[in-house]
Structures are given as structure tokens and as C-alpha cells.
Amino acid sequence: MEGLQPFCLIATAGTTNTGTVDPLSDIAKICKKEDIWFHIDGAYGGFAILADNGKQLLKGIGKADSLTVDPHKWFFQPYEIGCLLVKNHKWLKGTFTEKPEYLRDIEGNTSEINFYDHGIELTRRFRALKFYMSVKTFGMEEFRKAITYNVKLAEATEAFLRKSSNWEVISPATLAVINFRYNPIGNKLSEKKLDALNQRISKSVVDSKQALLVTTVLNGQVVLRMCLINPRTTLDDVKETIALCESFAEEKVLA
């Protein structure tokens, strides 16, 4: 209506809150039809493409013009290593290349890749080295196994919670993320009191230093959020944490 022309559509491959994935293939068709740039935010969930149980959910991710992934999230890397992938590196070079006078003596031949031509930084840390060495040391198959295990662990956690009369699953396990809250069947607590109770459960767990279980807000409800991306975490660990939550919940209800 205001004469503005959309030039980019951004989809999400695994939201931080719930792990939800947008319909990537359908969005790709829209972008192709309308001739607009298709970017996918896969910062957290993009690496699920390595696992069979994540590949189908991320169908269409290869149609992106650009994709962001953060290896420090679900590729088990040290903090501060993010990555932008584009179909054609010339697009970056065409966007960011500058040729100031003070760099004229170090311009190489056309076959060289100068990374300062592909981003906003003139100099940068060699962040990719730790990523490269991890893959060379452990092999891609080990990362595939770890990610597959994490997804299955979240699904097993959901199944365990659904068998209990004390817990309500708010968003199902998706890409190793699950959200739930303490809400026993037959309870007479108001929504406000349920929110306060689950907030106190989280605080008690964190204060105990036995686990780190924080909250988020979904559809106006305070819920507990588990992001199970540590391949050393076991289902027994999860069950112990949930039992700990229940013990704190009972203390708060009886208090």
C-alpha cells in the first residue's frame, strides 16, 4: 500500500523457545515466485540436518539463498563461533568489497580469497579452526550420532512427562527442545498461581545447583524449558531433575 517492495523473506529452522521449524519448502516456492531473497535462520536447529530424525523436519533448507548456523550451540563448539553460508560467495564479495588506497599493495590475484572482502571485518580471529579440528578429530559421524541422540532424548522426555499426572506438556519435543509445566490433574490453582509456582520451581532447582532449568513464556504461561543438547545427558539425569522439580513443587504447595 505504501509502495514498498519486499526483498527478503526470513524463515526459522528451529526457534530458540520451542525448536519449531517453519515450512521451508513452501516458503522457498513463494520466494522463487516473487523473486525475493530467501534467508533461513538455522542458528540453533540447522545442524539437525545431520540426523535422520531431523532431516525430514528441515526439508527445503537447501533452497535458501543464505543460511546462518551457530556451531557453538548444537555442534558442541566453544562459545563465539557463528557461520553464514551463501549459495554464491560472489554475492558477499559484491556487497562488502572495498578497495581503499592503503590496501592497494596487498591485493592478490583474482584466484585468492581475501576474507575481508566477504564481510564487514577487515581482520578477524581464526574462529573456524576449532570447528575444522573438531570435525577432523572426531569425524562427522560422531556429531551425527550425538545430534540424533539428543533428539531422541527429548522425545523420550516428552513420553515420560505425558505418563505423569503432575506435568503438562505445553510444546512437544522438537529438535531437542521441550516445554512443560507443573500442573497436576485436579489442581485448583489459578493460572496466576501456576505461573508463580513454576517460576519458584525453576528458582529452587537453580539454587540447588543440581541442575539448570529456566523458564520461558508461551501463550502467556510461565513454563519450564529443557534444551537437551548435551550428548552426555541421560534419561536418568532428566528423570532425577523432574523428581527434584516435583519435590520443590510439593514444598511450595504445602507451604
Read off the pLDDT of residues 3-39 as tens digits, 9 standing for 90 and up.
Answer: 889 999 999 999 999 999 999 999 999 999 999 999 9
Query: How much is the pLDDT for 90?
Result: 85
Pairing of the two strands 177-182 and 221-227: antiparallel
Rounded Cα distance between 160 and 37, Å, is 42
Mean of all residue pLDDT scores within the chain:
92
pLDDT greater at residue 222 or residue 92: 222
- Within-domain flag for 143: no
Are residues 14 and 131 located together in one domain of the fold? Answer: yes
Which residues are 226's β-sheet partners? 178
Do 70 and 95 sit in the same domain of this protein? yes
Full domain range(s) for residue 83 = 8-138
Residue reference for cell 585468492: 112
* pLDDT tens string 135-146: 999 999 999 999
Buried b (16+ CB within 10 A) or exposed e, 132-164: eebeeeeeeeebbebbbbbbbbbbbbbeebeee
DSSP state of 121: -
Over residues 177-193, the mean pLDDT reads 93
In a domain, 145, yes or no: no
How do residues 204-217 score in pLDDT, each as one tens digit?
A: 999 999 999 999 99
CATH code assigned at 228: 3.90.1150.170
CB atoms within 10 A of CB 105: 6
Identify the sign of the CA torsion 124, 132, 118, 35.
negative
For the chain, the domain total comes to: 2
Assess if residue 242 is contained within a domain.
yes
pLDDT-derived band at 119 (thresholds 50, 70, 90) equals confident
Beta carbons within 10 angstroms of residue 55's beta carbon: 12
Q: Is the pLDDT of residue 254 over 60?
A: no
Among 84, 104, 138, where does a domain finish? 138
Parallel/antiparallel/unpaired status of strands 83-86 and 8-12: unpaired
What's the pLDDT tens digit per position in 73-114? 999 998 888 899 999 888 888 888 888 787 777 776 677 778
Q: Are residues 118 and 206 in the same domain?
A: no
Compute the chain's Rg from CA coordinates. 23
- Among 71, 106, 138, identify where a domain stops: 138
Domain end (from 138, 166, 195): 138
Residue 217, in any domain of the structure: yes
